[in-house]
Amino acid sequence: MEHRYISKDPAIASESNLPDYDTLRAHFTWQSARRTTVGGNIAHEAVDRHVAEGRGDVIAFRFLAEQGPSREFSYELLARESNRFANVLERLGVAPGDLVFTLSGRLPELYVAMIGTLKVRCVVAPLFSAFGPDPVRQRLQAGRGRVLITTAAAYRQKVAPIRGDLPDLEHVLLIGDDVAGDIDGQGVCVLAPLMAAASTEYSIAPTGPEDPAFVHFTSGTTGMPKGAVHVHDAVVAQETTGRYALDLRPGDVFWCTADPGWVTGTSYGLVAPLACGVTCVIDEADFDAVRWYSILEHEQVSVWYTAPTALRMLMKAGDEPVAGRDLTHLRHVASVGEPLNPEVVEWGETLLGKAIHDTWWQTETGAIMVANFASMPIRPGSMGRPVPGIEIGIVRRDSSGERVIAESGQPVFVTQPGVEGELAIRTPWPSMMRAYLNAPDRYKACFAGDWYLSGDLARIDADGYVWFIGRGDDVIKSAGHLIGPFEVESALMEYPAVVEAAVIGVPDQVVGERVEAFVVLGGGAEPSEAITRDLMAFARRRLGSAVAPRRITCEPALPHTQSGKIMRRVLRARAQGLPEGDLSTLGGSG
Ligand code: WT7
């Protein structure tokens, strides 16, 4: 297959942080990338180190409020405020290793709390603010969270109703000042006065590279979400990829549009850019085409990391919101999370004057593994090449689609370029997940011999560029977010009239995949518009807008395998109007 290249101006390439990929790749070691400072705590590497080295005045964060003035935090202010939070947390009696959950929009307090939590060596477990009470309960229970940082509104809506199911949750700290009625004697406190009373001095105790730092919940095909555990050493991979894959340089204004409820929003919305010492723009508001272009222009964003869904939404908004804007500060644009179609790459080239650099990674990898680099020609549709320090391979699959593993336990790789198989990464690397919380078997199942098996299907061409084929499982990717069908099905099953439910992703032009559900009713309930509407509202209330199905269809029965498993792939074929026998284009094991 032949592809068009988007070549790079040699001057731009030579100025980039990675002018010579092959040479750096040949010499790079993670050990040499590791800084040997006391502790190596992420909060030290990302924040305090800059103050100690005389860069405290540099702006770390510019928070754009949905309404009202924006707020700036220099590295020094961020160091002091996160010290306050560390002191607040310590006063609560937490121990290193305890999970501290967050559930909030993109407010300054959230970022301060995350950094402060790392300082006391507690583990940050972010939840997405568009989750409903079900996903919140599920994750807080799985992580036995002792502390939750949230807003009064989120607490009222999503936590208070399930508080009885959370015996481990001792302390809830509320961000904001509209909180009067929420102090219910169950350990709920308002954060602001505690912060005001806390000292701005805090000294981070020595932190081991293998001490846990973050837990990110992620969905698989079966079972409830898994908590991927990441350690402080991950900052080495995050800083390195920030420098080489995102081309972050001192003086840059960086905008990562991802929410810190997901791994992109912490690895690249917080850790990597701060470790690189740049200025991060954080926008509290949700997507809006005019607002986004105006942020790019007025904040003079130089490096922008976003997602295909957002780019497609901008594309849909047309040229008008961008006409006459000065986007000349924009130097590097990158994307992640779902397939970046070549049309979008080309649109970026024409409209923004910038090609879009796709990158690939996963919650489990903790940092970018494959990228189109600033210095390298882009092949629209390809995810790029492995980052320095990362070795990848394509594992063979047999005729039934099972991965081939040799008797030695090592995977068997395809030997020819262009052959499809499962994308694997040689272990270890600093930001590799170290465990799934309380699920050692599920963790073990991700590895064979020396290799991590990603579950994604891909091929590598003769020049080493990686092409995404599809996922090897039933997990849904909607607007860049992973959604586990099982979690949605479980919520639907709670509805009294539902006896069976199957949830799939249906291709969508803008968000990649839409969540759709098929249910079988029982107990004498008849399919009707009223019951579907009620069920939709029920699902939205329980799951929240990020996860709830966009459409629910009542079926007389669902297709099953002989062993009784629901065949989601048959439903996917039906939803796409494909013959049910022809499942070749669908991926997934059903
Ligand atoms: C899955 C991981 C967003 C990264 C961190 C969130 C899909 C990721 C690409 C890409 C096609 C992609 C894969 C992967 N994915 N990047 N450039 N092209 N698909 O990670 O939520 O754990 O999702 O996102 O299927 O396995 P995540």
Task: State whether the beta carbon of 384 lies less than 6 angstroms from ligand 1.
Answer: no
Distance 394 CA to ligand 1 centre (A): 17
Residue 203: which residues within 8 A CB-CB, separation 6 or more? none
User: Ligand 1 atom 12: the closest Cα is on which residue?
Assistant: 338
Q: Which atom of ligand 1 is nearest to the CA of 218?
A: 22
Q: What is the pLDDT along the chain (590 residues), one digit of tens a residue?
A: 456 788 888 888 889 999 999 999 999 999 999 875 555 899 999 999 999 999 999 999 999 999 999 999 999 999 999 999 999 999 999 999 999 999 999 999 999 999 999 999 999 999 999 999 999 999 999 999 999 999 999 999 999 999 999 999 999 999 987 666 556 677 899 999 999 999 999 999 999 999 999 999 998 877 889 999 999 999 999 999 999 999 999 999 999 999 999 999 999 999 999 999 999 999 999 999 999 999 999 999 999 999 999 999 999 999 999 999 999 999 999 999 999 999 999 899 988 888 999 999 999 999 999 999 999 999 999 999 999 999 999 999 999 889 999 999 999 999 999 999 999 999 999 999 999 999 999 999 999 999 999 999 999 999 999 999 998 888 999 999 999 999 999 999 999 999 999 999 999 999 999 999 999 999 899 999 999 999 999 999 999 998 999 999 999 999 998 888 889 989 998 888 877 654 444 444 33
Task: State whether the beta carbon of 383 lies less than 6 angstroms from ligand 1.
Answer: yes
Task: State whether the beta carbon of 337 lies less than 6 angstroms from ligand 1.
Answer: yes
Domains and CATH numbers, the chain: 1-36+233-386 (3.40.50.12780), 75-231 (3.40.50.980), 391-428+439-471 (2.30.38.10), 474-585 (3.30.300.30)
Distance 2 CA to ligand 1 centre (A): 25
Distance 399 CA to ligand 1 centre (A): 25
Q: Which backbone phi and psi does 272 adopt, to 5 degrees?
A: -60, -50
Q: Which atom of ligand 1 is nearest to the CA of 370?
A: 17
Q: Which atom of ligand 1 is nearest to the CA of 383?
A: 17
**b/e map of 220-241 (b: 16 or more CB within 10 Å)?**
bbeebbbbbbbbbbbbbbbbbb
Q: Which long-range contacts (CB under 8 A, 24 or more apart) does 190-196 make?
A: 191/88, 191/109, 191/113, 191/149, 194/88, 194/91, 195/81, 195/84, 195/85, 195/88
Q: Which two tokens stand for residue 56?
A: 């405290």
**How far is residue 19's CA from residue 29's CA, in Å, rounded to a whole number?**
17
For ligand 1, pick from 238, 262, 336 the residue to mutate: most ligand atoms within 8 Å of CB: 336
**b/e map of 401-437 (b: 16 or more CB within 10 Å)?**
eebebeeeeebbbbeeeeebbbbbbeeebbbbbbbbb
Distance 341 CA to ligand 1 centre (A): 14
Distance 55 CA to ligand 1 centre (A): 34
Hey, CA dihedral for 23, 26, 32, 33, is it positive or negative? positive
CA atoms within 13 A on the CB side of 67: 0
Q: Give the other-Cβ count within 10 Å of 539's Cβ.
A: 26
User: Ligand 1 atom 24: the closest Cα is on which residue?
Assistant: 337
pLDDT recorded at residue 182? 55
Cis link prior to 260 (omega < 30° from 0)? no
Q: Which atom of ligand 1 is nearest to the CA of 335?
A: 17
User: Ligand 1 atom 1: the closest Cα is on which residue?
Assistant: 362
Number of residues that make up the chain: 590
CA of 356: how far to CAs of 238, 311, 330, 342, 351, in Å? 20, 10, 11, 9, 11
Using DSSP's 3-state secondary structure scheme, residue 219 falls into: coil
Distance 452 CA to ligand 1 centre (A): 15
Distance 362 CA to ligand 1 centre (A): 5
For ligand 1, pick from 219, 221, 340, 360 the residue to mutate: most ligand atoms within 8 Å of CB: 360
Distance 337 CA to ligand 1 centre (A): 4
Residue with tokens 């008008």: 320
Residue with tokens 């937490």: 94
CB 422 within 8 A of CB 394: yes
Distance 481 CA to ligand 1 centre (A): 9
CB 21 within 8 A of CB 385: yes
Task: State whether the beta carbon of 443 lies less than 6 angstroms from ligand 1.
Answer: no
**How far is residue 259's CA from residue 251's CA, in Å, rounded to a whole number?**
23
What is the rounded (10 degree) CA torsion for 199, 179, 541, 143? Answer: 30
